[in-house]
């Protein structure tokens, strides 16, 4: 059996070598389909890895609480647009009434887009930085965001208590305003307020090129409240005890529903998110995208399969006399079937290998030319691409192979 398969495989390879261009055109659809699967899978796998690293840098025990649900952008409902913000007292209640919550941090900011105001602008010696998030934070926020100090110190409870005009700057702000100058001890101006720089933050891991937290300008919570008494938007971070995330989330939900007077059957009028929930939401989105791309690539594989069937039927007709000779000297139906079936499988498997090679090359080029769009080829996509390409040859080559095997040897020998 092995000897027959080896001989038939050799015949199939000889046929491909003798008709190189025709064979390539025949499997072009298979090449494109496999290339698409490999390329899309590599981009999605890279994005997934980068998202996990970006989300988990903030901590796997952290819950983020805001008036809106964090995640993929969506059209806000009227109820969401009119929601009242969370408050400082909500954060205190979570800290006091949730036994599975270890620590709580609160940030205060103005939603300038919602208020129709221009974004905050920082100035230093003729250089400006616009679009940064200017906010007030407490001393706990350093630990709850897993931030790392690059230089200087962070905001302390004493800074907050005395409403000191001090600031901690994120990476992009430092790069833009100070370039090669040491920022610690310098005074910058933000929206007309003079602030002494007491520290700088290290760069965050980024998802798709840039992390918005690298644009933050942080001041003590009560300093910010002094600057903007009308500021109401609060973002709360809560750290759960180890292995108590679900319990902490339920406790926070219960506290906020009571404080915000949510009826038992009504949905929450606030959002609670975590690194895991954001990762799961992203994976749902990319799985849908991947499914669509698989359907599109299947069209290429279908076209390639039809081309293989067509060329194999032509091949059977061209080699009718050869089939008659083989049958006359003792070849069985199974030998003829395997000869043409292996030829079809070899044809599509070759196309699959070309598609895999081009897909890996494309993934490498994306990684090199577009660093913000990570790309890594998962092993399962290579295996799946090769198996599907081979299966296309098996499926679409079966009819021509059976047709060849059923030819009458006498009629085949007389064929001109």
- 98 and 25 co-located in one domain: no
The secondary structure element, H or E, covering residue 152 is strand 149-152
- 241 and 150 co-located in one domain: yes
- 243 and 178 co-located in one domain: yes
Inter-CA distances, 126 with 131, 183, 364, Å: 17, 15, 42
Is residue 58 situated within a structural domain? no
- 209 and 329 co-located in one domain: no
- 345 and 400 co-located in one domain: yes
CA–CA dist 307, 334 (Å, integer): 24
Largest CA distance in the chain: 105
Burial class (CB in 10 A: 0-12, 13-18, 19+), 148: exposed
Burial class (CB in 10 A: 0-12, 13-18, 19+), 348: buried
Going residue by residue through the chain (416 aa), what tens digit of pLDDT does each one get?
Answer: 445 566 666 666 666 666 667 667 777 878 888 888 888 888 888 877 777 777 766 667 888 899 888 766 667 788 888 888 999 999 999 999 999 998 999 999 987 666 667 788 899 988 888 878 899 999 988 888 878 888 999 999 999 999 999 999 998 899 899 888 899 999 999 988 999 999 999 887 766 666 777 889 999 999 999 999 988 889 999 988 888 888 999 999 999 999 998 888 888 888 888 878 777 878 787 788 778 877 877 777 787 788 778 777 777 777 677 767 777 777 677 777 777 787 788 888 888 888 899 988 988 888 888 776 777 888 888 888 888 888 888 888 888 877 777 766 666 566 55
Residue 148: half-sphere exposure toward Cβ, Cα within 13 Å: 8
Is residue 18 situated within a structural domain? yes
Q: What are phi and psi of 108, to 5 degrees?
A: -120, 135
Is residue 242 situated within a structural domain? yes
> Roughly what angle, to the nearest 10 degrees, separates helices 28-56 and 275-318?
170
Range of the domain at 230: 84-269
For 157-179, letters b (16+ CB in 10 Å) and e give: eebbeebbbbbbbbbbbbebbbe
Inter-CA distances, 178 with 129, 155, 169, 173, 404, Å: 11, 20, 11, 8, 78
What pTM was estimated for this model as a whole? 0.70
Euclidean distance between the first and the last CA atom of the chain, given in angstroms as a whole number: 32
CA–CA dist 388, 353 (Å, integer): 11
Is residue 215 situated within a structural domain? yes
Is residue 74 situated within a structural domain? no
End-of-domain residue from the set 202, 236, 269 = 269
Query: What is the gyration radius of the CA atoms in the chain, in angstroms?
Result: 32
Q: Do β-strands 120-124 and 127-137 pair in parallel, antiparallel, or remain unpaired?
A: antiparallel
- 28 and 119 co-located in one domain: no
Is residue 19 situated within a structural domain? yes
Is residue 63 situated within a structural domain? no
Q: Are 201 and 150 in contact (CB under 8 A)?
A: yes
Our count of domains for the chain comes to: 2
Phi-psi region of 126 (alpha: psi -120 to 50; beta: other; left: phi over 0): left
- Sign of the Cα torsion 315, 320, 321, 327 reads positive
The secondary structure element, H or E, covering residue 248 is helix 245-259
- 248 and 293 co-located in one domain: no
- 155 and 250 co-located in one domain: yes
Is residue 75 situated within a structural domain? no
Strands (E), 227-334: 233-240, 271-274
End-of-domain residue from the set 244, 269, 294 = 269
Query: Which DSSP letter does residue 118 get?
Result: P
């Amino acid at each position: 059996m092995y000897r027959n398969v080896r001989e038939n495989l050799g015949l199939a390879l000889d046929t491909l070598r003798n008709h190189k261009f025709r064979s390539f055109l025949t499997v072009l659809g298979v090449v494109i389909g496999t290339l698409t699967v490999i390329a899309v899978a590599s981009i999605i796998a890279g994005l997934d890895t980068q998202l996990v690293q970006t989300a988990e840098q903030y901590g796997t025990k952290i819950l983020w609480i805001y008036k809106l649900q964090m995640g993929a952008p969506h059209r806000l409902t009227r109820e969401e647009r009119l929601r009242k913000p969370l408050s400082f007292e909500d954060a205190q209640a979570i800290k006091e009434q949730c036994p599975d919550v270890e620590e709580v941090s609160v940030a205060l900011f103005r939603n300038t887009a919602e208020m129709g105001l221009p974004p905050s602008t920082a100035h230093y010696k003729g250089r400006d930085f616009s679009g940064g998030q200017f906010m007030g934070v407490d001393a706990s926020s350093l630990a709850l965001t897993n931030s790392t100090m690059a230089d200087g110190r962070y905001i302390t409870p004493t800074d907050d208590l005395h409403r000191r005009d001090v600031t901690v700057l994120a990476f992009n702000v430092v790069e833009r305003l100070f370039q090669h100058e040491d920022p610690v001890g310098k005074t910058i101006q933000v929206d007309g307020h003079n602030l002494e720089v007491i520290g700088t933050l290290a760069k965050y891991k980024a998802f798709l090129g840039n992390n918005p937290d690298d644009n933050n300008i942080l001041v003590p919570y009560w300093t910010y409240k002094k600057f903007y008494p009308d500021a109401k938007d609060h973002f709360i971070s809560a750290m759960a005890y180890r292995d108590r995330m679900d319990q902490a989330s339920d406790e926070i939900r219960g506290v906020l529903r009571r404080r915000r007077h949510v009826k038992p059957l009504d949905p929450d009028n606030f959002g609670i998110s975590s690194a895991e929930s954001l990762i799961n939401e992203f994976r749902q989105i990319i799985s849908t995208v991947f499914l669509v791309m698989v359907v599109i690539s299947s069209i290429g594989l279908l076209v390639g399969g039809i081309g293989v069937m067509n060329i194999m039927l032509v091949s059977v007709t061209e080699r009718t006399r050869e089939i008659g000779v083989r049958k006359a000297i003792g070849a069985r139906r199974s030998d003829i079937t395997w000869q043409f079936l292996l030829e079809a499988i070899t044809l599509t498997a070759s196309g699959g290998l070309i598609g895999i090679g081009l897909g890996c090359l494309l993934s490498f080029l994306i990684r090199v030319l577009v660093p913000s769009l990570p790309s890594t080829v998962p092993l399962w996509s290579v295996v799946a691409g090769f198996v599907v390409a081979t299966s296309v040859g098996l499926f679409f080559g079966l009819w021509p192979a059976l047709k060849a095997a059923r030819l009458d040897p006498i009629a085949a020998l007389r064929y001109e």
